[in-house]
Amino acid sequence: MSERRTDRKNRKKSGKWKKRILWIILLIIIAVIGYGIYLFVNVYDATQDAHEEIDRPDGKSEKRETDVTIGDDPFSILLIGVEDYETDGENGRADTQIVVTINPNTDQMTMTTVPRDTRMEFTAEEAGQYAGYHKINAAYTYGSIFDYGANKLTVEKVEQLLDIPIDEYVTVNFDGFRDIVDALGGVTVDIKEPFWEKNFYVGGEKIYFEEGISTLNGEEALAFVRMRKRDVNNIYSRDERQRQFIQAAIDEAISADSLFKVGEITDILGENVTTSLSASEIFNLQKAYSSMNTSDIKTYEIEGVDQRIDGTYYFLPTEEGLNKASQQLKQELELEEENTNDYSVENNQDMELE
């Protein structure tokens, strides 16, 4: 008799524990769903604040015959880093321009740096009374001043240079860059050569970078990607460091730990970041590339020379170098490799050099 009672007690205890376990699992599921909804609402609101379409007649690049679907078709994004601290956030200049292509058919991502000093011709519609030859990074400034659209003109000038469609863009200023890196908890990079750079936020202070693996905070990361005057014979160039940092930042952004930092990151977006990507497109990208191996990212360069023209230093791409970069990007975007480039290498080379 006592054995039966013991069995009943054990079964009751076992049943209670099963119920408790079920309740715990249910609470965890509810918490996960709740957190997921919280993330969605916060990210959606933030991306809505940061969303700014490019003013185009058909809503797409003139170099596209049909629209592209983000996540399904090969497409391009122009990353624009803006320096606007000297103008109180207005009429800044593009300090960095990097073309990113993503091809879901091959799971391939590429990065191509557009040298900020590339010499381009600007029309009166684009630059008003300043029509003529300028560095390509002036497009952001003139687009702001003459109501052409800073991001629009920057995108169009890159399209003109490389003869490819730029489907989307993301623009971030220095404060946004610093704050996002800090919100991620820093970004870890493998520094290839030692160097130093001034701290952008603390006058007179230098930030020293030693060779080896280091986790950079926001201020350090900004100095890391901006230094250009002390490149040692281009052994460790600014362009290389920027591409290296972006790869490391992608790794950090798609890591599991970063999911819990979304709230902090979304607070930064509206004020310091603008993008033509909608909230749903950003979700599609995150879903499609959350397991991306950044070591497989290809990097391309535009070959050319630095020349001084009328007292100003410019970067002049060679015809061969420009065509090579253009054809590589067209292949990644699965476009026909017909050369319709209206960037004039000849006009640049015919100028009197000093």
Is residue 29 in some structural domain? no
Is residue 3 in some structural domain? no
Q: What is the pLDDT of residue 84?
A: 73
- 9 CB neighbour count, 10 Å cutoff: 10
Is residue 25 in some structural domain? no
Could you tell me which residue, 88 or 332, shows the higher pLDDT?
332
**How much is the average pLDDT of 214-223?**
94
CATH number at residue 282: 3.40.630.190
Place of tokens 């100028």: 351
Q: Which domain holds residue 299?
A: 51-349
Query: How far is residue 28's CA from residue 253's CA, in Å, rounded to a whole number?
Result: 24
Helix, strand and coil content of the chain, in percent to the nearest 5, comes to 45, 25, 30
Contact present, 325 and 343 (Cβ < 8 Å): no
| Residue whose C-alpha is closest to residue 232's, from 193, 269, 285 | 193
Q: What is the pLDDT of residue 201?
A: 87
Q: Cβ neighbours of residue 9 under 8 Å, at least 6 residues apart?
A: none
Could you tell me which residue, 19 or 320, shows the higher pLDDT?
320
pLDDT tens per residue across span 136-154: 999 999 999 988 999 999 9
- Range name among 25-39, 178-192, 262-276, 309-323 with the lowest pLDDT average: 25-39
Quickly list H helices, 146-230: 150-162, 174-183, 218-226
Is residue 24 in some structural domain? no
Is residue 10 in some structural domain? no
* Chain centroid offset of residue 71 CA: 16
Burial class (CB in 10 A: 0-12, 13-18, 19+), 129: exposed
Which run of H or E residues covers position 245? helix 238-253
State the chain's mean pLDDT as an integer: 81
Q: What is the pLDDT of residue 42?
A: 57
Is residue 183 in some structural domain? yes
Confidence at 203, pLDDT banded by 50, 70, 90: confident
Q: What is the pLDDT of residue 353?
A: 44
**How much is the average pLDDT of 238-263?**
76
Q: What is the pLDDT of residue 348?
A: 65
Check pLDDT > 50 for residue 97. Answer: yes
Check pLDDT > 90 for residue 58. Answer: no
Could you tell me which residue, 134 or 281, shows the higher pLDDT?
134
Is residue 39 in some structural domain? no
pTM for the model stands at 0.81
Q: What is the pLDDT of residue 354?
A: 43
Confidence at 338, pLDDT banded by 50, 70, 90: low
Query: How far is residue 120's CA from residue 134's CA, in Å, rounded to a whole number?
Result: 6
Is residue 96 in some structural domain? yes
Per the structure, the count of domains in the chain is 1
> 308 in helix, strand or coil?
strand
| Residue whose C-alpha is closest to residue 249's, from 271, 222, 279 | 222
